Structure 1
Amino acid sequence: MLKAKKMRDFPSCFSENGVQVSDASSSGALLSTPATTSSKTAQNIVTCVYQCKLHSSFCFIITITWTKNLMGQGLLVEIDDSRSQSFCKLEVKPSLFTKRKGYKTLEMGSSFINIFWDLSCAKFGSSPEPIENFYFAITINQELILLLGDMEKEVHKKLNHPISSSPNAVFLSKKEHIFGRKVYATTAQFCGKGQIHDILIECDTTSSSDPCLLIRIDGKIVLKVKQLQWKFRGNYTILVDGLPVEVYWDVHSWFFGKLNGNAVFLFQTCLSAEKLWGPSGHSVMSWSGSLIKDCGQSQGLGFSLVLCAWKNE
């Protein structure tokens, strides 16, 4: 699932009205995302959580939230240092996000943080998260700790870093809001720099007398749940890239909740296959709602993808 204190060649697009910076002595609720409305105009949000480690072994949790609503696109960065119990965040409002370039220096305890990016040529899909032609980087105490995007050479050139100097970052979890009527689509990378997979969730809860849930990965059906009205919650293990991935679903709100309720899908990789497979070789069928809440908080659970699926009526 970040360097020099002064970089005069990086244009700054920050002002008091466009960027909010906050510090706190306590780390607070790291994984929280901006409040979302329960209406059908709920903003599109993607939240990514990374565990980043300095060469000194000090560990930081960095949460990046990409947002898109009627006002435009925005960005929220949260950095948590559990060692010193310090926390800071930076929010870029839509009015300045449109300039697509930014740079900011922050102080958090004894750490100096630089956050900078270039999205001027970035390509976007339906998600507020950029797809390609961009970079986003963070340095702490002049050490590159997080680097996103496909413009690594440009970042290393700006920071005078050798290309072999890669940040020690682990992608812990991603939470995304997706929208549709019967079909919900997104992409995901389940391990490191592995293959990017197409995920398709198909479910018709209105016109069918016996609703069925289908999940496809790269066009192949990996999960089919019949009698969904009785099996509105459950889990099953699939294999992706040779890794066991536990798939959890909760579509209760689509049948029994509010009309504008959302279903939740969790794709959870596990470092140990024995934790997921029973003695007979079949998946261990158990439901744990708390796992969805806590995903990404434990580095021992692998990678978690949480999809909040909203119906467009």
Structure 2
Amino acid sequence: MGIKEFEMSALSDQHHILGAAPFSNLKPPSEEKAIYVDQTANKAAPHETSITFVYQAKVSEFLRNVTVTWCKNLVNHSLSITVENPSDENQYTCKVDIRAWQFWGRKGLKSFELDGKLVGIFWDFRQAKFSTTPDPCSDYYVAMVSGEEVVLLLGDLKKEAYERTRSRPSLEYATLLYKKEHVYGKRSFCTRAMLADGDKEHYIFIETSLPGPGPRDPEMWISIDSTVLIRVMNLNWRFRGNETAMVNNLPVQILWDVHDWLHGKPGSGRPGLFIFKTGAPECVSDDDHGQCSRENEGGRRSYDSASAQGCPSTPEFCHFLYAWRTDQ
């Protein structure tokens, strides 16, 4: 199964993958305290980092997918917003250059027509603060206005956005469907994700012991909010897997596919894929032979390729993390 097929299986709620090894309380080598560390590799690496959010919002009286993509490399730093138009193959894309030295472009407005109705996009990045990721962490707003309503609002300067647009909040809030992110590192990768409880972001840390010295089998650890939830031993054989863990007493499915880290062709440069999906899988079986999940030590459930067939989960938010190793 390739990366694309693995991603599509998560979106279609079909999982045909191997379960992880039983849970162990052992910590990864550099994660004794499991403290979140910024993705410092992004500062020096010449790669382009990108984060894509896909929302569903009511624009021009219809629910449409709105794709928001933040990109940053050594030269460019930009925001792109695309609004789909199901009644037409064409779609509208608004691109904003938010490089620090282009101060005059860090506040602006663009408008377009969609199904004969005016849609406006307002933004203000003049005071925006950034960390190591391409999207701002505070002091900014991006607002999409349709029919005198703010149908999509990003950032923390909400009051300023409503004052500038002179529009009221929409009665139908935009829904975040999924997020895609590309990160770079050698043995460890970091991200933030909204998983189980609304607007609160959770810190995710992934660490591996590869490439490691000696004959020791490679391992992998996945932590959320300073707690190691999954340890995968013998990663050479368990390079794909799926477990459901509890985050603040709510279930989160964690899937991984790191086949190309271990068995890819030299120089292929393909990423590992991690998917964090809210909600627990629902078991649907046509026969009476047991259940399609098994409980591991620690009270979590894992799903294997034989029993996961016919066990779709409810459509919930997905976070796709593409982890690129810089030492391959």
The whole-number CA distance in structure 2 between the counterparts of 1:103 and 1:96 is 18
Identical columns (%) = 33
The whole-number CA distance in structure 2 between the counterparts of 1:243 and 1:97 is 44
Find the counterpart in structure 2 of residue 312 from structure 1: 326
**1:122 and 2:128 correspond:** yes
SS at match of 2:174: strand
**1:245 and 2:252 correspond:** yes
The whole-number CA distance in structure 2 between the counterparts of 1:274 and 1:97 is 51
Counterpart of 1:138 (choices 129, 139, 144) is: 144
Preserved CA contact (<8 Å) 1:214 1:223: yes
The whole-number CA distance in structure 2 between the counterparts of 1:96 and 1:183 is 29
- Relative to structure 1, the CA distance from residue 191 to residue 120 in structure 2 (aligned partners, 3 Å threshold; closer, same or farther) is farther
- Relative to structure 1, the CA distance from residue 191 to residue 154 in structure 2 (aligned partners, 3 Å threshold; closer, same or farther) is farther
- Relative to structure 1, the CA distance from residue 240 to residue 92 in structure 2 (aligned partners, 3 Å threshold; closer, same or farther) is same
CA drift of 1:204 comes to 2.3
CA drift of 1:83 comes to 4.9
CA drift of 1:262 comes to 1.3
**1:89 and 2:96 correspond:** no
- The range that moved more, 103-112 or 194-203, is 103-112
The whole-number CA distance in structure 1 between the counterparts of 2:162 and 2:99 is 29
The whole-number CA distance in structure 2 between the counterparts of 1:283 and 1:159 is 48
Find the counterpart in structure 1 of residue 188 from structure 2: 183
Find the counterpart in structure 2 of residue 25 from structure 1: none
When the two structures are superposed, what TM-score results if normalisation uses the length of structure 2? 0.72
Find the counterpart in structure 2 of residue 302 from structure 1: 316
- Cα shift readout 1:47-89 (whole Å, capped 9, x = no counterpart): 1000012595x20110011000121201111101325655211
Higher relative contact order (CA 8 A, sep 6+): 2
Counterpart of 2:303 (choices 266, 275, 284) is: 284
- Relative to structure 1, the CA distance from residue 102 to residue 256 in structure 2 (aligned partners, 3 Å threshold; closer, same or farther) is same
**1:105 and 2:88 correspond:** no
Preserved CA contact (<8 Å) 2:196 2:252: no
CA drift of 1:122 comes to 1.1
Find the counterpart in structure 1 of residue 287 from structure 2: none
SS at match of 1:155: helix
- Relative to structure 1, the CA distance from residue 180 to residue 63 in structure 2 (aligned partners, 3 Å threshold; closer, same or farther) is same
Larger radius of gyration: 2
CA drift of 1:286 comes to 4.0
The whole-number CA distance in structure 1 between the counterparts of 2:281 and 2:102 is 44
Preserved CA contact (<8 Å) 1:191 1:303: no
Find the counterpart in structure 2 of residue 171 from structure 1: 176
Preserved CA contact (<8 Å) 1:67 1:128: yes
Equivalent residues in 2 for 1:12-51 (5 A)? 41-51=46-56
CA drift of 1:203 comes to 0.8
SS at match of 2:199: coil
- Cα shift readout 1:157-213 (whole Å, capped 9, x = no counterpart): 223345x65651000111111111111111111146332111000012111421111
Aligned length: 261
Find the counterpart in structure 2 of residue 11 from structure 1: none
The whole-number CA distance in structure 2 between the counterparts of 1:242 and 1:55 is 38
SS at match of 2:262: helix
The whole-number CA distance in structure 1 between the counterparts of 2:154 and 2:211 is 40
SS at match of 2:282: helix
Preserved CA contact (<8 Å) 1:185 1:198: yes
In structure 1, list runs of 5 or more residues that go unmatched: 1-30, 32-39, 288-298
- Relative to structure 1, the CA distance from residue 45 to residue 279 in structure 2 (aligned partners, 3 Å threshold; closer, same or farther) is closer
Find the counterpart in structure 2 of residue 69 from structure 1: 73
The whole-number CA distance in structure 1 between the counterparts of 2:77 and 2:158 is 23
The whole-number CA distance in structure 2 between the counterparts of 1:240 and 1:97 is 41
When the two structures are superposed, what TM-score results if normalisation uses the length of structure 1? 0.75
The whole-number CA distance in structure 2 between the counterparts of 1:98 and 1:284 is 50
SS at match of 2:302: coil
